[in-house]
Amino acid sequence: MIKKIKGFSDIFPPEIYKYLQMEEEARRIFPLYGFQEIRLPLLEKTEVFARSIGDETDIVQKEMFTFTDRKGRSLSLRPEATAGVVRAYIENRIYTREKLSKFFTLGPMFRYERPQQGRQRQFHQINVEAFGSTSPYLDAEIICMLWEFLGKLKLPHISLEINSLGCEKCRPSFIKALKRFLGNIDKDELCEDCLKRREKNPLRALDCKREGCQALYLQAPCLHDFLCEDCRSHFELTLSLLEQRHIPYKLNKKLVRGLDYYQKTTFEVLSGDIGAQSAIAGGGRYDGLVRLLGGPDVPGIGFACGMERISLLMEDPSPSPPLCYLAPLEEKGLEATYHILSLLRGRGISCISTYEVKSIKAHLRAANKIGSRYVLILGEEELRENKITIRDLTLSRQDTIAMRDIHITEFKE
């Protein structure tokens, strides 16, 4: 028997209905804010991710599925969606057609890491990206949209944390102070990753998940003490706008995102109900990313939702069963069953049959098991008189009608 690859999951009903619900809510809510759905390749040139995410990140160094194709080009399965959306935005010259662009996309991502609850090597995300505005009003709008989306999914015990990472003007002075702080820590106290980060990418050290390192960083310099006036006013207005919409948030001055391209507003939505991997959504501003990937200097902001992690918090779905169950009692009733199913489905009525000849008791048990309300019976007498018997299992009654009247028969949920 051939088994699936480790870290790759099969998603069957009823679990799949959670994913469908997420997608349906995204497609309902996001267009209300002006976002349009797009579809992008799963495979990109490796440099798309190396240049945008950062060469020194764990994703690029350890987690990407990267290979060389027959022409010697380095290709990677996408580990996240933002870089691919930016590449598409630039390549298709969307910036020449509109001042403000709003997109969302959903689908699988790939990272080679240890599989655990809520984290697989193939996982699924819903991503939202907006280009063309530096306004804090857009920051607040996107966070409000994310909060509304998660609220419609009725997720319990979630919280929003938010921070500002500064910009290209004010962050260098903070990085200098942070390097000095990290340099004074004995190397034996830091994990191997943080030892590398303190020289090449000190801000990433603050994102370390090891408790020992986090304890050391409690006394680290605070980025908020280094914010320029523009970043400070931008962030304060964003927070004020969230308060006006009654969006609860916690200011987390130690919050940094795991990708290099973030600046200014950054945020995460956390849950205490799914263990160590508590972040279910996160994002922020990436005003220099379009320029970094070879496009014009267009600002951007977005977020991603982890569908596997959200599914852990959602209530078990209750999909609607087929409304009608067709029960052939005779072999010669199979053809009529086939045509009636087609007719009812054409009217938008959900219906099913096993195409098996059984006793009426066996058919009724099957209909009860799947939760159908109506059983349409085709027995010897019905076929002889060109009629059909409709039994309503909810009201415990039945009627026999002419076969030709089935197309006007009313079936109530």
Q: What is the mean pLDDT of each run of 10 residues along the chain (413 residues)?
A: 93 93 97 98 93 71 89 95 96 96 97 85 97 97 98 95 92 85 82 78 78 81 89 96 97 78 92 80 94 94 96 88 96 95 95 96 96 96 95 95 91 89
Residue range of the domain that includes 377:
324-408
pLDDT, position 224: 84
* Contact indicator for 178, 202 with CB cutoff of 8 Å: yes
Query: Per the structure block, which two tokens stand in for 378?
Result: 């085709």
User: Do 149 and 258 lie in a common domain?
Assistant: yes
- 261 with 305, same domain: the answer is yes
Closest to 83 in 3D by CA, of 231, 204, 261, 236? 261
Co-location of 309 and 348 in the same domain: no
Count of domains for the chain: 2
> Based on the domain organization, do 47 and 158 belong to the same domain?
yes
Judgement on whether residues 308 and 342 belong to the same structural domain of the protein:
no
- Report the alpha-carbon distance of residue 303 to residue 41 in Å, rounded: 19
**Domain shared by 231 and 341, yes or no:** no
Handedness of CA 298, 301, 305, 306 (dihedral sign): positive
Same domain? For 353 and 257 the reply is: no
Closest CA to 89 of 47, 138, 36: 36
Q: Is residue 211 part of a domain?
A: no
What is the DSSP pairing of strand 43-45 with strand 66-68? Answer: unpaired
Please name which of 360, 339, 362 lies closest in space to residue 351, comparing C-alpha atoms: 339
Tokens of 87: 């590449």
List helix spans (H) across 82-224: 82-91, 136-152, 171-183, 192-200, 202-205, 211-216
Among the three residues 253, 286, 313, which one is the final residue of a domain in this structure? 313
Q: Say whether both 390 and 279 belong to one domain.
A: no
